[in-house]
Structure 1
């Protein structure tokens, strides 16, 4: 029963997070990718690259969601882009074809690069970048680092998305998932976060 309630709460938080996303634009009648790019002062190539979930950029439907860049909310843009990859990215350890096929650190490296931050390739090196943050200090867009090893060497990385939730390209069974920061695994293995200026 507790698991069902916890799953329902996460679903509510995810819905709240999704509805408050400012970097998502919903297609209206008559829209094209070119028109949307112009509306948000983006290049068409950039808009297409931020929307790998759109299989054919020449065919978009009313109410499709499109990830755009806002002028003053880059961390929200980054989080919205990460969320859009839930149906796009497949986990592959050591994979170098982001956003389609990669592991947790290749995924975060790809996302941050889209927003002007060059991260190292592996999570243990990414953990040495940015400004260190405690669990209580986490803010939207911060990296989160974990270790499942006794020696505390970093083994996993994700992104804090607000509302006590985080997102990560987890493993071959789950791919990209949104989870509660209060979940057992997160609480047991989280070590620290890192903040980058976007």
Structure 2
């Protein structure tokens, strides 16, 4: 299906618990795309060579913002904008689907809510600039919304999607995109909690430490070297104070001649997930525990 459309650009400042969404560019929605591949990567540009911003599993939905040409769509996935191949999306201009939240952005001060998807439908109430609503569907460039127990339709030209009811949204800067992908990596890694540690294990039923990190990252299109020491050559160095979810963390127990003896994936809040050689299973541990605090040596950011 071919779409054409315009986009609305807006820039707003971030504030904790603010009712603002941080956006670089938001667009009038043109429809809903449903992922048909096992996993579909969202890219920073309309190219398979572009950076991966997120990975959507089969059956997940995205907001289609525009036809980017050459078989690509510009999409909004969980409040991050990027590009997905149309080969693995089934696109419809109307669907009842829970997308998340939307924040009103209009220079007119108020936004009319109507009984149907068009200006010819009856005006039933108005939203103020900055109001946050629940988006429950899309119909030909209009959002179906719910607000304080009332339902109706608003033009998507004056709405940007948000992550939560407070109006927070991941912006389209490298930092926000990296954070979003890092959280996805962590969530994917969690499904292997309890899987046994086996030296040389490459997954998915058993892992050694570097086999685990390599397997998890491969799911998102990144190829890591096979051993912990070799993975020091992947990505870029990052300090311990700058760790983000998804970063690799490295350790040296002093009993090996190689630069490192172990590797895991940082989760956040001082925690990391790894195929542990202490309990011989995939588990969480704290960087601040005596053992790991004393053996921590490096961190690398892959994306």
TM-score normalised over the length of structure 2: 0.42
Q: Which residue is equivalent to 1:132?
A: 237
Q: Which residue is equivalent to 1:91?
A: 197
Bigger CA radius of gyration: 2
Q: Which has the higher strand share?
A: 2
Q: For 2:297, which of 188, 191, 197 is the aligned residue? A: 191
The count of corresponding residues between Structure 1 and Structure 2 is 138
Q: Map 1:98-137 onto structure 2 (within 5 A).
A: 98-137=203-242
Offset of residue 40 of structure 1: 5.8
Q: Against the structure 1 CA distance between its residues 147 and 132, is the aligned structure 2 distance closer, same or farther, given a 3 Å change threshold? A: same
Q: Which residue is equivalent to 2:252?
A: 147
Q: Does 1:163 align with 2:163?
A: no
Q: Which residue is equivalent to 2:161?
A: none
8 Å contact from structure 2 (residues 182, 244) kept in 1: no
Aligned counterparts of 1:93 and 1:177: Cα–Cα separation in 2: 16
8 Å contact from structure 2 (residues 229, 258) kept in 1: no
Which runs of 5 or more residues in structure 1 are unaligned? 1-37, 48-66
Highest RCO, 1 vs 2 (Cα 8 Å, sep ≥ 6): 1
Q: Which residue is equivalent to 1:41?
A: 35
TM-score normalised over the length of structure 1: 0.62
Which runs of 5 or more residues in structure 2 are unaligned? 1-31, 41-55, 61-76, 81-179
CA RMSD of aligned residues (A): 2.4
Secondary structure, aligned partner of 2:223? coil
Q: Which residue is equivalent to 1:77?
A: 184
Q: Map 1:48-67 onto structure 2 (within 5 A).
A: none
Q: Which residue is equivalent to 1:181?
A: 287
